[in-house]
């Protein structure tokens, strides 16, 4: 008889469904972390794209017959948005990266059959589900994975 490498110290075996969930979560959370990291460094580029869109919007407003005072107020508001917009994107991406790393840590612990991983994963993904409530797919995926991991908690110690 050969020994299986997927056993923990208590002798419990890791079910195939839990292993598949962990692999899918490693891929998803890893991609999430990578995109968040890229987003931190690409926020300047995104803001330059938005700046170009703001410039064309200003040209449209001037072409629609706005008086000089209204155009100046709109330009000031758009300039203020542009100056703080990059910082907001960086803060959002850092928060996203923290949640992705929490999720990855939770998946790693659950792969090792540790129940504490379920807590880490649930906290990170519940926050994401609450923050993305305006969409339907992301919260359903987060909640679905939390439920599937919850069903497999009996295999964790």
pTM: 0.68
Residue 110: how many other CB atoms lie within 10 Å? 26
For 32-58, the DSSP string reads HHHHHHHHHHHHHHHHHHHHHHHHHHH
Query: Could you give the count of Cα atoms lying within 13 Å of 99 in the half-sphere of its Cβ?
Result: 21
Higher pLDDT, 6 or 34: 34
The 10 Å Cβ neighbour count of residue 76 is 10
Within 10 Å of residue 12's Cβ, how many Cβ atoms? Answer: 14
Average predicted confidence (pLDDT) for the chain: 79
Q: What number is the average pLDDT over the span 35-62?
A: 67
């Amino acid at each position: 008889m050969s020994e299986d490498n997927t056993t923990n110290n208590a002798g419990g075996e890791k079910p195939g469904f839990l292993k598949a969930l962990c692999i899918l979560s490693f891929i998803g959370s890893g991609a999430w972390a990578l995109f968040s990291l890229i987003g931190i460094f690409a926020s300047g580029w995104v803001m330059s794209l938005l700046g170009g869109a703001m410039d064309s919007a200003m040209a449209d407003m001037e072409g629609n017959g706005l008086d000089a005072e209204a155009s100046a107020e709109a330009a000031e508001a758009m300039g203020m948005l542009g100056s703080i917009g990059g910082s907001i994107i960086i803060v959002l991406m850092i928060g996203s990266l923290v949640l992705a790393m929490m999720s990855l840590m939770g998946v790693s612990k659950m792969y090792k059959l540790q129940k504490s991983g379920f807590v880490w994963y649930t906290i990170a993904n519940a926050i994401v589900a609450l923050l993305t409530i305006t969409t339907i797919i992301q919260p359903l995926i987060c909640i679905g994975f939390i439920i599937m991991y919850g069903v497999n908690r009996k295999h964790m110690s």
